Amino acid sequence: MTKHLIPSVLRVLVSVVSEAQDMTEILKPDKMSLNFENALTCTLTSPELAKRKNELQKAIFAKVKHVSEVDDGYVFQFDDDESLLPELFHYVLAEKQCCPFFQQDISIGSHASGITWKVSGAEGVKLILEQIMEEAIPNRE
Q: Is the pLDDT of residue 71 over 80?
A: yes
The tens digit of pLDDT for each residue in 8-37 reads: 444 444 444 444 455 455 444 444 444 445
The Cα 25–Cα 125 span in angstroms is 31
Is the model more confident about 83 or about 56? 83
Query: Each residue of 93-126: pLDDT tens digit?
Result: 988 888 899 999 999 988 778 999 999 999 899 9
| Domain locations along the chain | 2-32, 46-136
Q: What angle (nearest 5°) sits at the alpha carbon of residue 125, between those of residues 33 and 108?
A: 135
Give the up-direction half-sphere exposure of residue 140: CA atoms within 13 A in the CB hemisphere. Answer: 22
**CA 26/CA 46 separation, integer angstroms:** 35
Q: Which residues pair with 103 in a beta bridge?
A: 120
Average pLDDT over every residue of 51-62:
82
What is the CATH architecture of 46-136?
Answer: 2-Layer Sandwich (3.30)
